[in-house]
Structure formats: structure tokens, C-alpha cells
């Protein structure tokens, strides 16, 4: 029996990277997985690979009507939601900058996905959990950039991730009465399309590797264990916490 047997879950950003790997792990543990992303073709490819325990939810997380419709689809199909894992995000490397140089449009575009998008998914996800009355687990992808020097130079992205971690903690305070737990996973620098420009850069890569005491960059698979744990009942006493799986980058 899987650790997530029969749980109805939604993972955002599931066409790529960390969320895609988590979707595979959730399926292996017996969950039904709603794959939510704005990249519809990417979702179809992931759904074809992971099989019938997944269902695609093509959605733009910045668009409230689109998010509401996705969670309504889950409500109609299953009447419940046991876990929401929000990963959809953008990092506008090359455009993001220190505050005094930052283009307001870059700030807005970053916040639309990373902050508003997470809020909207939590809003409609939490409503479904509350209405179903079975509690649930909300997991939001945070980042050390919202907490440490590793965010220097990227004031839009880093502060947007701080907003996600702040929302997670205040949600934990108010949603516990419904049996809903809210936690953040804080990854190190993980090789995905989001970080490709940095990880492929021959100057940046060795600096980033050296910033992780564990001596290497992360892979999406490095984060699947913590996600399964937080989605499962094994973590039933955990809420309002940040779970660092970051190769030690935050201790610097």
C-alpha cells in the first residue's frame, strides 16, 4: 500500500522540474494527481508518461477564473482535495535586479505568478479542502533566496518567495482548525529549466556548487521524499514550518 493511497492531490507547475518529479513520486505512492500548469502540451506529455492516475489541469495561475475552474473540475470529479503542492513560478534571470534598478514590469510579472498565483491556488484549494471536511496538506515551494544572501541581486524573485513562506505560516495558523496543515519546502539550487541559465554558466556554476556545503547542485528527485512526507499522514503534527532540503546553502 502506497503512502498516499487514494489521496486526491493537485501539483502546480507540473509540466516541469521539481513539480514534475513530485508528480511521479505521488503516483508511485498511490495518489491521484491533478497536473496543473499553463503549458498544456507539457502536461499532456507528463500525463502520458505517468498514466491514468494523473489528470491534466491546463491553467494560468495568474488568472483567477482559470484557477477557480481547475479546482471546480477537481471538486466535480472527486469532491475532495487532500494535498495541494504549489510549484508554479518564474525567475526572470537577466531581468530581475536590485530594487533601485528593477523594472516595475519585471516585479509585476514575477509577483503575478509567484505570489498572486500561489495565493489563488491556496484560496481555491483550501476552500475545497474545507468544504470536503477531511482536512488536508498544503505545501508551497519556498526558497532560501527569500531568507538569505543567496537572493542577492534578484529582489523581485527573492521577495516573492519570502511572501510565499509568509503566507504559508499565516495560513497554518488559521487553517489548522479545519485540519489543514501548511508547510513550505525550501530547496537548494536545483537543476531545472528555471535555473538552466545559471547552471550552464561556466562562471556561476562553480560558485553555486561551492555555496552548497554538500558539494553539489540538487536534482528534482532530491525533493520528492520531503514532498511525499508532507503530503502523507506521517507529517500529521507538522504545520507552519519551513523544511530545508537545500544541500546546506542556508547555513552560509
Ligand X SMILES: NC(=O)c1ccc[n+]([C@@H]2O[C@H](COP(=O)([O-])OP(=O)(O)OC[C@H]3O[C@@H](n4cnc5c(N)ncnc54)[C@H](O)[C@@H]3O)[C@@H](O)[C@H]2O)c1
- Point out which residues bind ligand X (CB under 6 A): 13, 15-19, 37-39, 42, 59-62, 87-90, 113, 117, 141, 143, 161, 187, 189-190, 192-195
Q: Which is nearer to ligand X, 136 or 187 (CB)?
A: 187
- Determine the Cα–Cα distance for residues 159 and 161; give it in Å rounded to an integer: 5
Min dist. Cβ of residue 69 to ligand X (A): 13
78 annotated active-site: no
Name the active-site residue from 111, 124, 157, 178.
157
104 grid coordinates: 516595475
Shortest separation between residue 184's beta carbon and ligand X, angstroms: 10
Look up cell 519585471; give the residue. 106
Query: CA-to-CA distance for 192 and 179, rounded, in angstroms?
Result: 33
Residue 173: closest CA among 163, 161, 181: 181
Instruction: Give which of 105, 106, 117 is closest to 141, Cα–Cα.
Output: 117
Residue nearest to ligand X (CB): 17
CB 133 to ligand X: min, Å: 28
* C-beta closer to ligand X: residue 40 or 173: 40
On the 0-12 / 13-18 / 19+ scale of CB atoms within 10 A, 112 is middle
* Residue 221 vs 234, nearer CB to ligand X: 221
Active site residues: 157
Amino acid at each position: 500500500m502506497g503512502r498516499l493511497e487514494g489521496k486526491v492531490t493537485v501539483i502546480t507547475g507540473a509540466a516541469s522540474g521539481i513539480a514534475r518529479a513530485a508528480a511521479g513520486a505521488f503516483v508511485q505512492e498511490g495518489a491521484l494527481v491533478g497536473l496543473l500548469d499553463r503549458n498544456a502540451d507539457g502536461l499532456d506529455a507528463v500525463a502520458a508518461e505517468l498514466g491514468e492516475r494523473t489528470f491534466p489541469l491546463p491553467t494560468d495561475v495568474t488568472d483567477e477564473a482559470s484557477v477557480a475552474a481547475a479546482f471546480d473540475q477537481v471538486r466535480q470529479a472527486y469532491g475532495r482535495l487532500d494535498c495541494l503542492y504549489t510549484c508554479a513560478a518564474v525567475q526572470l534571470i537577466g531581468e530581475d535586479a536590485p530594487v533601485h534598478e528593477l523594472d516595475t514590469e519585471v516585479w509585476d510579472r514575477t509577483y503575478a505568478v509567484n505570489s498572486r498565483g500561489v495565493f489563488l491556488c491556496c484560496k481555491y484549494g483550501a476552500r475545497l479542502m474545507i468544504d470536503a471536511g477531511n482536512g488536508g496538506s498544503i505545501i508551497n515551494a519556498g526558497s532560501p533566496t527569500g531568507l538569505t544572501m543567496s537572493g542577492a541581486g534578484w529582489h523581485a524573485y527573492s521577495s516573492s518567495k519570502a511572501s510565499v513562506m509568509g503566507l504559508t505560516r499565516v495560513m497554518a495558523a488559521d487553517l489548522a482548525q479545519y485540519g489543514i496543515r501548511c508547510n513550505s519546502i525550501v530547496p537548494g539550487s536545483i537543476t531545472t529549466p528555471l535555473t538552466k541559465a545559471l547552471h550552464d554558466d561556466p562562471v556561476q556554476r562553480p560558485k553555486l556548487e561551492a555555496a552548497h556545503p554538500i558539494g553539489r547542485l540538487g536534482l528534482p528527485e532530491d525533493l520528492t521524499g520531503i514532498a511525499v512526507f508532507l503530503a502523507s499522514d506521517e507529517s500529521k503534527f507538522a504545520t507552519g514550518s519551513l523544511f530545508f532540503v537545500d544541500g546546506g546553502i542556508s547555513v552560509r
